[in-house]
Amino acid sequence: MPQETALFPLADADKCVKCALCLPHCPTYRISLDEGESPRGRIALMQAFAGGTLALTPALSAHLDHCLACRACEAVCPAQVPYGKLIDAARALLHERGQREPWLVRLFAACMRNPVLLKSLHLVLWLSQRLGLQTIAALWPRFRQPLQMLPKLAAPRRLLPIYPTRQTGSPEVQLFLGCVARMVEPGVTQAAIRVLNTLGCKVRIPAAQGCCGALDQHAGRASPAARAVLRNLEAFGGDTPDPILHTASGCGATLGEYPQLLADARTAQFSHRCRDISAFIAGHDKLGQVAFQPLRAKVLLHTPCTLRNVLKSGAAVAQMLRHIPELKLALLPDSIGCCGAAGSHVLSQPALAERLADPVADAVRQTGADFLLTSNVGCRLHLQAAMRRHGLPVRVLHPLELMAMLLPGDDAPAV
């Protein structure tokens, strides 16, 4: 095998017959109508680059960098081309050849993968908001967009290792927190614990867990991604079959692909244990026994690409929400596609990300929704910023937060 193909699976790329069935489903192609911005066009570029017939140029980098890795193309590909695997491998090859992401994206990834830096960043951002320093920092154009995406942060807090129920012999589940979600969505973690406890599940939160590795995986940084895998294997280790539940679908997609990221015999069992929390709850035999309070509200459900195209459990979220009486639930049409968040893509390609979020804002305006729900933290931050940009006072929540708000005995939210 030539040296230039060592990091790239040419055999998988050769499965693409360039039939173009993926083109209408690719967000970047729909916007540009440029073959270089399509899945088959990008695969052709990857093949030429990996084979040594195409040099690293700004144009090549731009086409591959623009890809959202939404994997909508995989869902419609008759040849079952593993596009997600290809784009990750191509970016690893770009990284080996010396290409680097923008410094802000690399700094963000470094903070997310290091627990000490993550806690420090959380504390700094929280204090900045409390003291009004965030407004000053936002005067620097490069910081303005990411700071505008931040919600009002809660003070850093330590979670308990176990959240038991009052029942003896309760089944146990383990909760994966992620990195970004741990900092900006503490309410989702609390909601998950409350709903799971209501269903009779004891919740364990391993303290040694860390970032899932997605940011490094999709940027071609194989070594840091492998270290993230190893850390979580050890944190959630043991022979227990207890499910590992994740609340962010972006994390879940990577957790399910750990066997591809690290050659370790434990990865297959780990990935088998991982489940999207909404799918777990929707299939729980006690869910129908919970008397959720009614809510007369219009809810628009956004299904993240990772939930639809990778985990393939998007239908479970709607199934879970239909247990709330009087709720009017509407689904975003599949034609809207990726919202543009796509992990760190929202930081590296902010203009494109905002353009892809606009159709979601239009759908919220047309439906008159009171709540916009999404199951991925990056999508939530990005869409909340889009709602503010469009002047829409809709609340953007994780589905579990709405479920927890309506548990028996709680005050129903005002709409």
289-405 CATH fold: Rossmann fold (3.40.50)
Q: Do 3-96 and 289-405 fold alike per CATH? A: no
Taking the chain (415 residues) in consecutive chunks of 10 residues, what is each chunk's mean pLDDT? 61 94 94 94 94 90 92 94 94 85 82 89 88 68 71 88 86 93 91 96 94 90 92 89 95 95 93 96 94 95 94 92 95 87 82 91 94 94 93 95 90 49
pTM, full prediction = 0.90
Tell me how far apart the alpha carbons of residues 362 and 374 are, in angstroms, rounded to a whole number: 16
For domain 3-96, the CATH class is mainly alpha
Domain boundaries, the chain: 3-96, 162-210+226-282, 289-405
pLDDT value, residue 174: 97
Distances in Å between the alpha carbon of 1 and those of 4, 9, 103, 135, 176? 8, 11, 34, 54, 39
pLDDT at 411: 56
Closest Cα partner for 307 from 179, 236, 405, 398? 398
Q: What angle do CA 261, 266, 269 make, to 5 degrees?
A: 100
Query: Could you tell me if 303 and 331 are in contact, meaning their C-beta atoms sit under 8 angstroms apart?
Result: yes
For residue 333, what pLDDT is reported?
84
Residue type, 311: L
Task: Look at residues 75, 87, 84, 63 and name the one whose alpha carbon lies nearest to residue 21.
Answer: 75
Tell me, what's the pLDDT at 405?
95
Contact (Cβ atoms closer than 8 angstroms) between residue 310 and residue 338: no
Contact assessment for residue 262 and residue 229, using Cβ atoms and an 8 Å cutoff: yes
Nearest to 152 by CA among 170, 134, 138, 168: 134
For residue 89, the tally of other CB atoms under 10 A from its CB is 23
Closest CA to 302 of 215, 374, 227: 374
User: Tokens for 243?
Assistant: 């499910």
Do 328 and 289 form a contact (C-beta atoms < 8 A)? Answer: no
Per DSSP, the three-state class of 276 is strand
Q: Torsion over CA of 115, 116, 118 and 122, rounded to 10 degrees?
A: 140
| Separation CA 79–CA 286 (nearest Å) | 40
pLDDT, residue 348, reads: 80
